[in-house]
Chains A and B, each alone.
Chain A
Amino acid sequence: MGQPASPVSADIAATPLLATEGLTKRFGSLTACDRIDFEILPGQIHALLGENGAGKSTLVKMLYGALQPDEGRIVWDGAPVEISSPAEARRLGIGMVFQHFSLFEALSVAENIALALPPRGRRELAETIRSVSREYGLPLDPGAGIADLSVGERQRVEIVRCLLQQPRLIIMDEPTSVLTPQEADILFVTLRRLASESVSILYITHRLSEVLALAGRATILRRGKLVATADPKAESAKSLARLMVGSEVMGIERPDRAIAETKPRLQLNRMSLSTDNPFATALCDIDLVVHGGEVVGIAGVAGNGQQEFFDAVSGERRLARDDMIVMDGRAVGRAGVNARRRLGAAFVPEERIGHAAVPGFRLSENVVLTRHATGEAIASGYLIDRGAARDVETRVGERFDVRRSGPDPKASALSGGNLQKFVVGREIDRAPGILVVNQPTWGVDAGAARTIRQALVDLARAGSAILMISQDLDEIFEISDRVAVLSEGRLSPTFPVETMSAEQVGLLMGGVHHQHDGEGEEASYAA
């Protein structure tokens, strides 16, 4: 193949550690990976870049033995191999750190790590964990329970577990999606150090800035095909985005908000929610006011109470006192979700499939799901008016450009982006006075994300109050007027978004995070 080695690894070796030749995987009629040829050199940090659904995860699962390719082959260290299982991959020296962690919450750090390794003495293992984790700047207490660790610390456990298997290639799936900017910086130091010890890293991401900062080589996938292999040093964020999306991405039109409109529409007053589940986050004394005409963004790292916050505001979990939530002047803390909808509030949860929509139901039936109790024609008394539901389905489909295979398909037949446009559109179609949305563009392609964000801004400017929970800082900065940060169930004060930088928000996200950490690593955050 004669590809020139990237500058970073030129001095190490030119024989690829891993190469794929014509690797193909089909799921029914969908070709998730279509004849992928690429190679990773020893000691290279190789970014795998692409939108959601581009085929990154499928490709990586084949490399890790979790999926078998339909065609093509994998060459490891110069010899063709068949990776039949993750155990086989680990035997070869391929380790993986997953996006969704595979840790047992009820066990300790050492116990979780011991499960992945050949048996050895407890004390010896604890000592190894302590020394390896400190050596790589990821300090861990082997005796700590997983449930007590922050998301960033859990990721450390995964990485250390992977390191103890002495891999030659580490695959990391969107590792920074759960980290604050500061935590991400620490991770990058570790990754560079590993690369310098000639460990290769395959780094999956859709964040362009990370590719520019970290990678020696970038492979870009789009709709299952490899579209480019680039040297990030010679590219800009813009040129990479064009390669990834396939076209220019338009910005959001965001007119200034009318100053006159300052009516508070949604108020949270010392909102608290206890939890009886040891793995959930309790909410504590949350105060917030959202006015008509504005978008308020709630930033934060996953697992800091976002789900509980959404459930409390939507009414899926009732609060102890009515006055904890006031919607357009009415105290509704103990009211259910439909009572709040009748006051003009609308909600879009994070999970599309199985929460916002029933996958096996047609779109028109999914219209009934959230709009059967709002006094509309869709359901009067005990009867459902299917015609009225279908009218809404058609209207939302046209207005939000929901691409459907035929009239009124099942929700499961839509792609993630199209279903998300539908579940957001279904609520906006009601012209709600208050809209609460959790992760509005999670796992959605760039075009759909733009449509959704624009719709949120437009709804706000028409006088509604928008409360948006998002883990995507770019999104927060793009459409919010004010921002607050949720950390361990507590909400920071709100700040006008113009006065904040990503670093400042990042510091708030990290807020009270590190109280469980091992010895003296706070110092490394100062760096």
Chain B
Amino acid sequence: MRLELTRRPQPSRRMALLSPVIAVGLAVVTTAIVFMLYGVDPVRGLYIYFIAPLTEGWSREELVVKATPLILIGVGLAVAFLSNNWNIGAEGQFTIGAITGSMLPILSPDFQNFATLPLMLTLGALGGALYATVPALLKTRFGTNEILTSLMLVYVATLFLDWMVRGPWRDPMAFGFPNTISFSAAASIPFIGSGRLNASAVVALVIVVLLAVIFARTLKGFEIRVLGESPRAGAFAGFSAKRMTIFAFAVSGGLAGLAGIIQIASVIGKLQPAISPGYGFTAIIVAFLGRLNPIGIFIAGFVIALSYLGGEAIQSGLQVSSRMAQVLQGTLLFYVLACDSFILYRMRIVRSHAGASAPAHA
């Protein structure tokens, strides 16, 4: 007896929609098993992890706050991944966006008017885009592997931030703490809820809709998909793969940079050494869980945001390490990729050959 994967004549639409759902289900079961190994009642553990965060107003707002950067980065990464450009360095572009966006309130703290915030967001997006262009140019010019270069630039960016906030940009009044001055109201994104919910959620929503339209209706979206699926056909259509590489990295880096400055200008309020719980990496999971589709990524962003909140909840409620969130995210990505095989393949169990063709080696 053996398992055999046979190619389906047509990719299964049903499996394409079901695959992330099955993957989430399997990830929940795995989490329950881990809870049991920890000696925690799995039902109680799952409740505190997945349900409790949704029962209170402040934590529902927190869910949106955590989902916003994930969605922003995730839709940008979809542009890169769909066009076959593997930008793994969103975390670095997020960090650089936070730094370039913060230049204005840190270097000219007195520049406070209606233009302050839009300028900061623009600078953040530009910084992220330019930083992402580095691996893109290395790829188009020298044929380097963009996975390695974009990933390595993450460490460059985070260490650069660390140096900036401990060195040149440190607030002299901060009693030696490594952080910059706090931003003025004009340089902060307004809160719109009772907790930390702020206007950046609206920005993310607009960008999701915009990208959904671009993918579905425009020639640019078509170009992205053609070059991702078959570069040769893309050249035949008159599209340039090299220009697409630069475009895709610039867009995904720009959105990651935007998410970075949004994070600083809303919930943190100043630059400090740690500004992200790994949003740039987790957004890769969000992008794939959401099928590289903007609407799907929107939903996936909330699922993954819940895993962050749940991780904090079990730490305070059950004294289980919040690292659990990373375990869950990892297993989730694993299951999504595994379940995706069933979109193209059907699994069946084959019994060994009937007697007629039994092996009879000469």
Chain A contacts to B: CB under 8 angstroms: 27-30, 69, 71-73, 76-77, 79-82, 92, 314, 316, 336-338, 341, 347, 349, 351, 354-361, 365, 368-370, 372-373, 379, 382-384, 409-410, 413
B7 touches which of A28, A347, A369, A409 (Cβ 8 Å): A28
- Binary contact track B158-180/A, C-beta < 8 Å → 1, others 0: 00000000000000000000000
A76 to B361, CA, bound (A): 10
Closest to A381 in B: B219
Residues of B within 8 A of A92 (CB): 362
Q: Is B204's beta carbon under 8 Å from chain A?
A: no
Complex interface: chain A residues within 8 A of B356 (CB): 71-73
Separation in Å of the B222 CB from the closest CB of chain A?
Answer: 6
Whether a CB of chain A sits under 8 angstroms from the CB of B55 is: no
A355 to B220, CA, bound (A): 19
Q: Report how far A336 CA is from B240 CA in the complex, Å.
A: 11
* Distance of A357 Cα from B236 Cα, bound (Å): 9
Decide yes or no: A383 and B237 within 8 Å by CB, A82-B359, A365-B222 being known contacts: no
Main secondary structure of the interface of A (DSSP, over half): mixed
* Complex-state Cα separation, A372 to B362, whole angstroms: 61
On whether the beta carbons of B10 and A360 are closer than 8 Å, the reply is no
Contacts of B232 in A (CB 8 A): 351, 354-355
Provide the bound-state CA to CA distance between A254 and B3, in Å: 55
Q: Is there a chain A Cβ closer than 8 Å to B33's Cβ?
A: no
Quick one: which of A81, A314, A369, A382 contacts B360, CB cutoff 8 A?
A: A81
Question: What separation, in Å, do the CA atoms of A355 and B237 have in the docked complex?
Answer: 9
| Contact yes or no, A28 B230, CB < 8 A | no
Task: Pull 19 A–B residue pairs with CB atoms less than 8 Å apart, ordered by A.
Answer: A28-B8, A77-B362, A80-B357, A82-B357, A82-B360, A82-B361, A314-B236, A316-B235, A316-B236, A337-B236, A347-B236, A355-B230, A358-B233, A361-B225, A369-B226, A372-B222, A372-B237, A384-B222, A413-B9
Whether A360 and B219, one on each chain, are in contact in the complex, defined by CB atoms closer than 8 angstroms, is no
Residues of A within 8 A of B141 (CB): none
Counting from the closest, the 4 A-B pairs by CB-CB distance are A338-B238, A82-B359, A354-B230, A73-B357
B217: interface (CB < 8 Å) = yes
**Do A372 and B219 have beta carbons less than 8 Å apart?**
yes
Is the CB–CB distance between B220 and A382 below 8 Å? yes
Instruction: Say what secondary structure dominates the interface of chain B.
Output: mixed
Residues of B within 8 Å of A372, CB to CB, are 219, 222, 237
Q: Would you call B236 and A349 a contact (CB within 8 A)?
A: yes
Residues of B340-356 at the interface with A, using a CB-CB cut-off of 8 Å, are 346, 354, 356
Judged by a CB distance under 8 angstroms, whether B218 is at the interface is: yes
Bin the interface of chain B by size. Answer: 20 to 34
Q: Is B144 an interface residue (CB 8 A)?
A: no
B-side contacts of A356, CB under 8 Å: 233, 236
Partner of B10, one of A30, A379, A410: A410
B209-263 contacts to A (CB < 8 Å)? 217-220, 222, 225-226, 229-230, 232-233, 235-238
User: In the complex, are the beta carbons of A360 and B357 less than 8 A apart?
Assistant: no
Known: A82-B359, A82-B361, A413-B9. A369 touches B217 (CB 8 A): no
List residues of chain B with CB within 8 A of the CB of A69: 357
C-alpha spacing A383/B216, complex, angstroms: 10
Residues of A within 8 A of B220 (CB): 382
| Residues on the B chain within 8 Å of A365, using CB | 222
Q: Of the candidates A30, A355, A383, which one forms a contact with B236 in the assembled complex, judged by CB atoms under 8 Å apart? A: A355
> Is the beta-carbon distance between A383 and B238 smaller than 8 angstroms?
no
Instruction: Assess whether B7 is in contact with A358, with CB atoms less than 8 Å apart.
Output: no
Q: Are A373 and B7 touching (Cβ within 8 A)? A: no
A384 touches B219 (CB 8 A): yes
Contact residues in A for B238 (Cβ distance below 8 Å): 336-338, 341, 373
B326 surroundings in chain A (CB, below 8 A):
none
Bound-complex Cα distance A355 to B232 (A) = 5
Bound-complex Cα distance A81 to B360 (A): 6
Complex contact A370–B237 (CB within 8 A): yes
Tell me, yes or no, whether B6 is within 8 Å of chain A by CB.
yes
Tell me which residues across on chain A come within 8 A of B217, comparing CB atoms: 383-384
Chain A nearest Cβ from B247, distance in angstroms: 14
- A72 lies within 8 A of B226 (CB): no
Q: Is there contact, CB below 8 Å, between B230 and A382?
A: no
Chain B residues, Cβ within 8 Å of A81: 360-362
Q: In the complex, what residue of chain B is closest to A361 when comparing beta carbons? A: B229
Q: A28-B8, A360-B229, A365-B222 are in contact. Are A79 and B237 (CB under 8 A)?
A: no
- What's the Cα separation between A341 and B238 when bound, in Å? 10
CB distance from B77 to the nearest CB of A (A): 20
Chain A residues with Cβ under 8 A from B225's Cβ?
Answer: 361
Q: For residue A82, which residues in chain B have a CB less than 8 angstroms away from its CB?
A: 357, 359-361
CA distance A102 to B241 in the complex (A): 30
Q: A72-B357, A354-B230, A384-B222 are in contact. Are A369 and B237 (CB under 8 A)?
A: yes
Q: How far is the CA of A29 from the CA of B346 in the complex (A)?
A: 12
- Least CB distance, B211 to chain A, in whole angstroms: 14
Min distance, Cβ B78 to any Cβ of chain A, angstroms: 16
From residue B228, how far is it (CB to closest CB) to chain A in Å?
10
Q: Considering the complex, give the chain B residue whose CB is closest to the CB of A315.
A: B238
Whether the pair B233, A355 counts as a contact (CB closer than 8 A) is yes
Measured in the bound complex, the distance between the Cα atoms of B236 and A379 in whole Å is 16
Residues of A within 8 A of B362 (CB): 76-77, 79, 81, 92
CB of A370 within 8 A of CB of B10, answer no
Known: A379-B219, A383-B218. A71 touches B10 (CB 8 A): no
Closest beta carbon of chain A to B351's beta carbon, Å? 12
Report the Cα distance A337→B233, complex, angstroms.
12
In the assembled complex, the CB of A392 is this many whole angstroms from the nearest CB of chain B, namely 15
User: Measured between C-beta atoms, what is the minimum distance from A336 to chain B in Å?
Assistant: 6
Among B6, B7, B236, B346, the residue within 8 A (CB) of A370 is B236
Q: Which residues from chain B contact A410 at a C-beta distance below 8 Å? A: 10-11
State A336–B233 Cα separation when bound (angstroms): 14
CB-nearest residue of chain B to A378:
B219
In whole angstroms, what is the CA distance A368 to B234 when docked?
11
Contacts of A347 in B (CB 8 A): 236
Q: A28-B7, A81-B362, A384-B217 are in contact. List 13 more A-B contacts (CB 8 A).
A: A29-B9, A73-B357, A314-B236, A316-B235, A355-B230, A358-B233, A359-B229, A361-B225, A370-B236, A379-B219, A383-B218, A384-B218, A413-B10
